Chain A
Amino acid sequence: MTDGTPRPGAPAPDPDLLYSEDEEALRAAVRSLLADRGAPATVLAALESGAPHDTGLWRALATDIGTAGLLVPEKLGGHGASAREAAVVLEELGRSVAPVPYLTSAVIAVTALLGCGDGAGVAAPLAALAAGRTVGVLALPLPTAPGTPPDLAVRAAADGTLTGRVTSVADAASAALLLVPAEGTDGPALYAVEAAAEGVRTDTVTPLDLTRPLGHLTFDGARGRLLATGDRARAAVDRALLTGAGLLASEQLGVAEWCLAETVRHTAERTQFGRPVGSFQALKHRMAALWLEVASARAAARYAADALASDSPDAPVAVAVAQAYCGPVAVRAAEECVQLHGGIGMTWEHPAHLFLKRAKSDELALGSPGRHRDALGALVGIDAP
């Protein structure tokens, strides 16, 4: 272990693991919007229309309610809130598997830009992202984990032109602004590239999770604007990935919550052998065990959000714990949802499959549970053999 890494026994002092009144008010606004505009049947219809995301819903969420600017300071055009509030938005988005680029644009891209300092090149794109006018994405494969420098597939020439290919970038097709980590002539660098610029190609792929589209980005001499270099570029990208991973836990919590609630509702109503199937112990125990996991996932996700919000030195541990725990819980909740719904759980009409696909895709996103456990081992002094 190196100096400055958090030690076991040193979690953040007095973390606040509950929700504030303001956070509950934000939740109510987002939930109400999603109930009107993002019901699972609507989500399904929108997906089949072929649009990369629901632009009407995104505008209402990002601009009208103002969630896109939560992480941006007020002087830079945002709302000056914190990761705690963004986490509440993600819980609600998880509960509805809404196809909107919140995690990618309003969390990860915004955090990456904030890490580039306050130069003039940053202020304008940040204001556009904060207002929800522009969708931006960090051009890295969705499975990229925080904590280790990613292998950079894009090279930057001395004149600022970019060449290379980045696969499986979430919400790539929606993005107007690409934040591209590249290997420059003097080490790592972060560039801003307009998706519509010459030399940029986006190939969409058919994703497992229809609600979070993926695209491959090819840069062939595309012109980039330099945002940061060296340690600053590396730190900006890592902070973006850390924040994304920590807040993804809240989305996973929302996915798991919906799955459990729907399963309880269904099994309490569905009758077989002359009794509601939810009265059978074999099923009850599975749902009760799942409730315990969901309650635990909430504590883990809240701690990660609180640690990120307070910039705690324990944040890397908090995020690794949350990701190692919440991803599998969301998957298990979705799998139980499909199973305990019986035949209906296997149909295209029932929304359970949307949650299963999101949960499984989320488990791989921003580092698999195993990668986060490995990272944790190094952080807390449980070294590999």
Chain B
Amino acid sequence: MTDAADLRRRTAALLTAHPPATTGRLDFLRARFDAGLAWVHFPEGLGGLDAPRSLQSVVDAELTAAGAPDNDPGRIGIGLGMAAPTILRFGSEEQKQRWLRPLWTGEEVWCQLFSEPGAGSDLAALATRAVRDAEGARSDAEGGGDRVVEGGRDQGVEGGGGWVVDGQKVWTSSAHLARWAILIARTDPSVPKHRGISYFVCDMTDPGVEVRPLRQITGEAEFNEVFLTGVRIPDAHRLGEVGEGWKVAQTTLMNERVAIGGSRIPREGGMIGVAAEDWRARPALRTHDLHQRLLTLWVEAEVARLTGERLRQQLSPTLNSVRAGGAPTGQPGPEGSGMKLAFARLAQEISGWEVEFLAEDGLTYDDWTMRRPDGVDFTGREAGYRYLRAKGNSIEGGTSEVLLNIVAERVLGLPPEPRTDKDVAWKDLPR
């Protein structure tokens, strides 16, 4: 059993063998991955040591103290939070070996090709098609000399014929930076919508992949539209069985909600900290009403922080808390949806409060220039940006309305919504 003392020893050994002061950033990150200190709860050989997830903080603290570089988790959040757990659970050994290391070091950025213009909250209604690649399959049958994707480049995982994908995706963060995408597409339109979907890994540098910026309410283009035209994907880039893509996607989505709502934050971390600092710095703007509302929000933010902490303890009991009932599964449950709901509402209310508190300064905006940021910067910009960007928090990763349905049905066991499309083949659904 790998314990905290063992991890400290291994971390010290890593720092001795690869002193951060004299080791290149990427070399250090690769060495850290190979030492099993990237994500300690992952298996050995895949950047981890099969250790409890909670012990990651031991490693992180030692490395931060030693001035080691991090892997810029804000820039590669989709890979870390969504692609990696899905690959770990459903990927073949070859897929794990190929994708996880450069994903973690940030050498390869990932994005997520799920939502479509006609399939947002009703994600399973997606229309992007993946059909068997007759040409590619024939080439394979003819002796395998031609590869489905042209040679000379890094091929990912090899073999097994392929697919041709056509369709349009939307709200894709990081698509303009990404090397790989997790993609869900319809492989069988003759069965009901949830059953005819398969899950693939798409090479974003392939011909037929076109990424266009999607400018949004804040003025910047943090998201993209992605047009897929005759994109060839080898069958070896499929995760899970053909037609089982919805099940695979559930793992991604549950992890997405945890990633959005469940990062560990200190007291007064995030937006409430900005609001509290505004209050302390600008006594002239204080009113009794704003004081009462700020205190209410402070309490709610602190309670949300504690709720997230409690959820983390349930997922992965710490050593002084192994007394939690039942073995931790390490898998996020529907409670993650609850946390996302809470953080979305709080971000909106706090940022709205802040714009109001700032009075005349709340009427200005820092920059409407169309930009393509690497990620969301909630605390680096001004209040108006926070207010506008937070509007997306109750939409992205599942709208709050859909998440409330999920909580009601899966946590509380309330009767499901009547579903008129339940037993109808996807091709026969009205569109």
Please state if A17 and B295 are interface contacts (CB–CB under 8 Å).
no
Encoded as 1 (CB less than 8 Å from any A CB) or 0, chain B from 245 to 287 comes to: 0000000000000000000001110000000100110010011
Q: Which of B268, B283, B286 has the most CB of A within 10 A?
A: B268
- Which residues in A have their C-beta under 8 angstroms from that of B313? 16-18
Encoded as 1 (CB less than 8 Å from any B CB) or 0, chain A from 285 to 320 comes to: 101110110011111101100000000000000000
Known contacts A18-B310, A292-B338; is-contact A376 B413 (Cβ 8 Å) = no
Complex alpha-carbon distance, A268 and B307, angstroms: 27
Q: Which of B296, B304, B317 contacts A373 (CB under 8 A)?
A: B296
Nearest B residue to A11 by beta-carbon distance? B267
Please state if B303 and A300 are interface contacts (CB–CB under 8 Å).
yes
Please state if B415 and A299 are interface contacts (CB–CB under 8 Å).
no
Interface membership of B422, Cβ < 8 A: no
Shortest distance from the beta carbon of B394 to any chain A beta carbon, whole Å: 13
Known contacts A14-B320, A16-B313, A385-B291; is-contact A299 B303 (Cβ 8 Å) = yes
Please state if A279 and B416 are interface contacts (CB–CB under 8 Å).
yes
- Which residues in A have their C-beta under 8 angstroms from that of B296? 324, 373
Interface membership of A275, Cβ < 8 A: yes
Complex alpha-carbon distance, A384 and B291, angstroms: 6
Please state if B295 and A382 are interface contacts (CB–CB under 8 Å).
yes
- Which residues in A have their C-beta under 8 angstroms from that of B279? 382
Interface membership of B431, Cβ < 8 A: no
Interface membership of A80, Cβ < 8 A: no
Please state if A321 and B302 are interface contacts (CB–CB under 8 Å).
yes
Shortest distance from the beta carbon of B232 to any chain A beta carbon, whole Å: 42
Complex alpha-carbon distance, A304 and B56, angstroms: 27
- Which residues in B have their C-beta under 8 angstroms from that of A288? 403-405, 407-408, 411-412
Q: Which of B268, B287, B298, B306 contacts A9 (CB under 8 A)?
A: B268
Interface membership of A149, Cβ < 8 A: no
Please state if A296 and B304 are interface contacts (CB–CB under 8 Å).
yes
Nearest A residue to B324 by beta-carbon distance? A18
The number of residues on chain A lying at the interface, defined by a beta carbon within 8 Å of a beta carbon of chain B, is 51
- Which segment, of A19-27, A117-125, A213-221, A360-368, faces chain B? A19-27
| In the complex, chain A residues 347-385 whose Cβ is within 8 Å of any chain B Cβ | 370, 373-374, 376-377, 380-385
Complex alpha-carbon distance, A275 and B418, angstroms: 9
Known contacts A321-B303, A382-B280; is-contact A376 B310 (Cβ 8 Å) = no
Encoded as 1 (CB less than 8 Å from any B CB) or 0, chain A from 38 to 62 comes to: 0000000000000000000000000
Nearest B residue to A269 by beta-carbon distance? B415
Interface membership of A79, Cβ < 8 A: no
Please state if A299 and B306 are interface contacts (CB–CB under 8 Å).
yes
Q: Which of B286, B288, B314 contacts A18 (CB under 8 A)?
A: B314
Please state if B299 and A377 are interface contacts (CB–CB under 8 Å).
no
- Which residues in B have their C-beta under 8 angstroms from that of A267? 414
Known contacts A18-B321, A325-B300; is-contact A382 B404 (Cβ 8 Å) = no
- Which residues in A have their C-beta under 8 angstroms from that of B309? 15, 17, 299
| In the complex, chain B residues 361-414 whose Cβ is within 8 Å of any chain A Cβ | 401, 403-405, 407-409, 411-414
- Which residues in B have their C-beta under 8 angstroms from that of A21? 323, 325
Please state if A302 and B404 are interface contacts (CB–CB under 8 Å).
no
Please state if B418 and A17 are interface contacts (CB–CB under 8 Å).
no
- The prevalent SS among residues of B at the interface is helix
Known contacts A376-B298, A377-B291, A385-B288; is-contact A296 B342 (Cβ 8 Å) = yes
Q: Which of B276, B295, B314, B407 contacts A292 (CB under 8 A)?
A: B407
Complex alpha-carbon distance, A296 and B343, angstroms: 12
- Which residues in A have their C-beta under 8 angstroms from that of B317? 18
Known contacts A279-B417, A381-B280; is-contact A19 B325 (Cβ 8 Å) = yes
- Which residues in B have their C-beta under 8 angstroms from that of A384? 286, 288, 291
Complex alpha-carbon distance, A32 and B403, angstroms: 35
Known contacts A14-B320, A287-B412, A382-B294; is-contact A299 B280 (Cβ 8 Å) = no
Interface membership of A264, Cβ < 8 A: yes
- Which residues in B have their C-beta under 8 angstroms from that of A158? none
- Which residues in B have their C-beta under 8 angstroms from that of A324? 295-296, 299
Nearest A residue to B312 by beta-carbon distance? A17
Encoded as 1 (CB less than 8 Å from any B CB) or 0, chain A from 269 to 281 comes to: 0000001101101
Shortest distance from the beta carbon of A384 to any chain B beta carbon, whole Å: 5
Interface membership of B292, Cβ < 8 A: yes
Please state if B325 and A24 are interface contacts (CB–CB under 8 Å).
yes
- Which residues in B have their C-beta under 8 angstroms from that of A342? none
Known contacts A16-B321, A19-B325, A279-B414; is-contact A289 B306 (Cβ 8 Å) = no
- Which residues in B have their C-beta under 8 angstroms from that of A20? 323
Shortest distance from the beta carbon of A325 to any chain B beta carbon, whole Å: 5
Shortest distance from the beta carbon of A285 to any chain B beta carbon, whole Å: 4
Interface membership of B318, Cβ < 8 A: yes
Interface membership of A201, Cβ < 8 A: no
Interface membership of B44, Cβ < 8 A: no
Nearest A residue to B411 by beta-carbon distance? A291
Please state if B310 and A302 are interface contacts (CB–CB under 8 Å).
yes
Please state if A264 and B414 are interface contacts (CB–CB under 8 Å).
yes
Please state if A287 and B415 are interface contacts (CB–CB under 8 Å).
no
Known contacts A17-B313, A288-B407, A296-B304; is-contact A380 B298 (Cβ 8 Å) = yes
Q: Which of B302, B304, B415 contacts A275 (CB under 8 A)?
A: B415
Interface membership of B335, Cβ < 8 A: yes
Please state if A279 and B418 are interface contacts (CB–CB under 8 Å).
yes
Q: A288-B407, A299-B307, A382-B295 are in contact. List 12 more A-B contacts (CB 8 A).
A: A8-B276, A9-B267, A9-B268, A16-B320, A19-B324, A21-B325, A285-B408, A287-B414, A288-B405, A295-B335, A324-B296, A382-B276
Binding site for B on A (CB under 8 A): 8-11, 14-21, 24, 260, 264, 267-268, 275-276, 278-279, 281, 284-285, 287-289, 291-292, 295-300, 302-303, 321, 324-325, 370, 373-374, 376-377, 380-385
The 8 closest A-B pairs by CB, nearest first: A385-B286, A284-B408, A279-B415, A288-B407, A299-B306, A17-B310, A299-B307, A288-B404
A-B contact pairs, 15 of them (CB 8 A): A16-B320, A18-B321, A287-B412, A287-B414, A288-B405, A289-B341, A292-B342, A324-B296, A370-B292, A377-B291, A382-B291, A382-B295, A382-B298, A384-B291, A385-B291
